[in-house]
Homo-oligomer: A and B are copies of this chain.
């Protein structure tokens, strides 16, 4: 499907599925039977119902090329998602610019849960976004730790963003829909299955600048996320534990690989490993993102900052014609993206953004 969309575009792909005619540029022999299967699934799709759920739950759909689409996903090549369903106030692209995945076992030990929550909380305090999979155990502890610091956190689901799975994380997901971000590759209403968990892991790895495995048993799915992170050139990190603990066997395996994962004992070491925000700039002197790609509200905040010196959020709000809450939120995103910084004189443009 990735190849089909790459060759024919989304509309051309839909047309090919409807007609059963493989477009030029794809392997017709391999594609034809798949088109038949996809046509059956297409007949079960109900875009109007999806649209109604989207509007009701305030879910948005972002596609490659949209301002909120994280370009880091392009590293997945043909395995890039076609689109992502989002639920929650965080901006996915900005949130992921400065993000770390914290993942691990569902059956975590009290030790692992504590490490995950503390590490996520400290990273969130430093305005690093904590990405995880919304599962029981380490994942939930990481999301909760980030929320405790009132920091950004992103849960990437193997199901629809309106499906509270696992059910016992229901309250966490409701909170994240209100204050953070839920991400799904499949439409609302989709139930998780084993395959979806596996493919979901590549999205967690690709969105973040590095993956920390806090606890993992020998065959934990978290090791799959780590393998994706390695394949994508992201930093692979692991937290050690007692050698007798089954929950740390997978982490110790990562630390004994060649090359070994980076051993992590505290949040500062994570930040050291994934590098400062400056490392994000693709070219020296170039802004992190072109201003033209910014959404209009973010751009209004950016343009309300004086070219020299600092200013307070209230003055920015007046100048941009926005309320103070919106301004504070957008300033956080702009800071994460490297456009603005907090100085003793207030918020100001970074050296990079002034150029």
Contacts and interface: CB of A to CB of B under 8 A. Distances in A.
A248 B111 CA distance: 15
A92 interface: no
A21 interface: no
Contacts of A266: 243
Contacts of A256: 262-263, 265, 269
A334 interface: no
A167 to B, nearest CB: 31
A273 to B, nearest CB: 10
As for how many copies of this chain the complex holds, the number is 2
Contact of A240 (B115, B255, B269): B255
Interface string A226-264: 000000000000011111000011001001100010111
Nearest to A248: B240
Interface in A259-289: 260, 262-266, 269
Interface string A98-142: 000000000000010001000000000000000000000000000
Contacts of A115: 243
Contacts of A260: 260, 263
A256 B263 CA distance: 6
A242 B243 contact: no
A276 to B, nearest CB: 19
Given A240-B241, A240-B263, A252-B263, 4 more contacts: A240-B240, A243-B264, A249-B265, A256-B269
15 contacts: A111-B242, A239-B243, A240-B241, A240-B242, A240-B248, A240-B255, A240-B263, A241-B241, A241-B242, A249-B265, A252-B263, A252-B265, A256-B263, A256-B265, A260-B260
- Enumerate the 3 nearest inter-chain pairs by beta-carbon distance, A residue then B residue, closest first: A240-B240, A243-B265, A255-B263
